[in-house]
Chain A
């Protein structure tokens, strides 16, 4: 900052402290709940100080839910989603802002429209898409007669080969979740603020678009990529409905499903303490990602010559 205003500084600290307290307050109660016994967690009034059973509950929750395997699955799926989305959106955003081609705006709006439909409505047909990914292709080839053509000539059954079932696979868990426009939209916004002089300079140097992308745009986008990584990691990690639908084997379930499994339902004993304790270690990787990725904010942002 340029100069120091004590008054402003104090005001800001107060605001941030209130904000931090408001934000952490539910977390504190979750911690308290996770440190009680089953009987204690049901008592009224609810205790305001933690009990002594947190570690015990955590261990119990971990074993009961068999979280070691679930953790690995969640990590693989989430990292897949993050890298997939980043890669796909970066190049799509680049194409839509830096290239003039026919149907450019159409492409942008098509991508953007995918934000406009709630997931639950299309989740059942998306299941069909995952269980039978080759379906549309088979229908297409059938309609244009290609399948029959090939079968007559060579006896090769194209439609049998196009049976891709991605249920219970990592691909099935990752691919449907990569298809979203928020990252592309963000990169589009960011690329539009990049000064034109940089691109002109690159062109004068004889650099092609890909070289420009790799050497100039990507480094500039570091802060946004960092922010987006956090968002996407959390998005992928906290998914519940898609993995629930797309996995039938316990070995392929994710940590979030394991957590939901621990949350008490109507007829069961309200073991909230176990569920809350579990929520903390399920929350640990995203929290870690947040803390680590933070450094990228300060690092990549002192760009005096943007």
Chain B
């Protein structure tokens, strides 16, 4: 056994010493904490610094500095060319908070992101489970299911909008024949549904790839042991595969959340343009519209600050709440 058996492995798979568990706080950000650190690790601060430096440097030049420039505009009203600028303090923020459209957009975003996150995971999980359990044709299925990921985003959005266009879309006609009064131009729910389905469709492949990899990584020996114990395939999946895939699932929850919150504006833009009447106008689409389209740099910077704060908060909570339950060392 390793010499360091004074160190115990706790539920989080991290090394702890028998101590009072009271330090789970923001202080852990600054102090070197044990969260996410391998029990068996190296102590070479200079080497570590060198390894992490390239990413941090690139981020510094191409993320942090531009972000600072962009977000500092939250406190001004500015002409897009930079010629005229007046300081308005927190006006941009108060205007946003007092605007009913913004509040509606925030609630909508919450629903949309959560639904999209769960649905994508479930659909991808089902497909990955099925892929894992078929005897033949695995490669073909994998190839086919991953294809939508290769489509240019601009094209896929247009395809969905077209297919379900109530006047000319073939699938819309099918829905009409089945008796549904499908009209995303006049029924906000239909528009939201369409956008959600399009977003999920595009992102299922992402989750699918990683889940397939995670399920395949379950050692056959463990599965055999479970089978010998009399567990049937579904039960094996639930009690063995899923827990072992937990780190990947946690990764995907966070990434789905980020996708729904930040990267869906392209789809919203081509499928509904935020309509009708703002019913698919998520926060990020508002930022895109105001900042990039309308060039209202002050308001969009303020909106981005709020959006960023929400995202950081939620991710932090996810790390705290969910990651505890993720067992990294099985």
Contact = CB atoms under 8 A, between A and B. Distances in A.
A109 B312 CA distance: 10
Contacts of B55: 88-89, 91-92, 111, 179, 184
A16 B130 contact: yes
B151 A279 contact: yes
B22 interface: no
Given A118-B307, A191-B38, A100 B32 contact: yes
B36 A96 contact: yes
B61 A287 contact: no
B127 interface: yes
B154 A259 contact: yes
Contacts, number: 351
Contact of A108 (B31, B36, B223): B36
Contacts of B160: 26
A301 B220 CA distance: 10
A59 interface: no
Given A45-B168, A118-B284, A297-B216, A179 B163 contact: no
Contact of B44 (A89, A99, A193): A99
Contact of A15 (B44, B127, B292): B127
Interface stretch (A61-69, A126-134, A143-151): A126-134
A55 interface: no
Contacts of A263: 154-155, 158
B29 A106 contact: yes
A46 B38 contact: no
Interface in B258-279: 258, 262-263, 265
A247 interface: no
A136 B59 CA distance: 13
B201 interface: yes
Interface in B14-39: 28-33, 35-39
A223 interface: yes
B291 interface: yes
B102 interface: no
Which bracket fits the contact residues of A?
A: 35 or more
Nearest to A137: B61
Contacts of B143: 290-291, 294
B4 to A, nearest CB: 8
Contact of A196 (B40, B48, B134, B169): B40
Contacts of A114: 59, 63
A26 B148 contact: yes
Interface in A14-36: 15-16, 19-20, 22-27, 29-30
Given A97-B38, A283-B151, 13 more contacts: A3-B227, A16-B145, A23-B201, A30-B159, A46-B169, A95-B49, A122-B63, A125-B66, A209-B44, A209-B47, A223-B217, A230-B209, A275-B155
28 contacts: A2-B227, A3-B227, A4-B135, A12-B133, A19-B145, A23-B144, A29-B159, A88-B58, A96-B36, A99-B48, A101-B44, A104-B48, A105-B29, A106-B29, A110-B56, A116-B311, A118-B262, A118-B284, A118-B288, A126-B63, A126-B66, A184-B55, A231-B206, A234-B150, A259-B152, A287-B150, A290-B143, A294-B142
Interface of B: 2, 9, 13, 28-33, 35-45, 47-49, 51-52, 54-56, 58-63, 65-67, 69-71, 123, 126-127, 129-131, 133-135, 137-139, 141-156, 158-160, 162-163, 167-170, 173, 201, 204-206, 209-210, 212-213, 216-217, 219-221, 223-224, 227, 232-234, 247-248, 250-251, 254-255, 258, 262-263, 265, 284, 287-288, 291-292, 297, 300-301, 304, 307-308, 311-312, 315, 328-330
